[in-house]
Amino acid sequence: MTQPISGKITIAPQVLTTIVEQTALDTKGVQALGARPPHIRDTEGRRAIGSGVEVIVSDNTVFVALNVEAAPNINMLTLAETLQHDIVRNVEHILDMKVARVDVYIGDVTFSETAQD
């Protein structure tokens, strides 16, 4: 059995925005990330903002707000629930951090060029 090593481990909040961004872009029905992230209110902690994403980390707990553009042919409620589930799973698995909340904002519906032809 290995002995614990003393020292501090810090994961920058920007790592979380990258994980959330990639999770969203890998989700069927997400055309793009929104231009601006929704704002998380009433939560203090270390804040990071990415493309359509805001993340706050407080006491090893994560709060996420995500703005996406959806495809026109999907169920938006199902898309939002899938995003919530997948973001929680990825953050908890990759970083071993608790996710308290994932707010999903579908800000637009985007038709791809091939869908219009």
Query: What is the reported pLDDT for 116?
Result: 46
Please determine, for residue 30, whether its predicted confidence score (pLDDT) is greater than 80: yes
pTM score, two decimals?
A: 0.87
Domain count, the chain: 1
**Cα(11)–Cα(38) distance, integer angstroms:** 23
Residue range 12-34: mean pLDDT, rounded:
95
Query: What is the reported pLDDT for 114?
Result: 55
Q: Is residue 93 part of a domain?
A: yes
Query: What is the reported pLDDT for 13?
Result: 83
Q: Can you give the CATH number for the domain in which 48 is found?
A: 3.30.70.1350
Residue ranges in the chain assigned as alpha helix (H) = 13-25, 76-95, 113-116
Q: Is residue 46 part of a domain?
A: yes
Tens digit of each residue's pLDDT (9 = 90 or more) over 38-70? 888 888 999 999 999 999 999 889 999 999 999
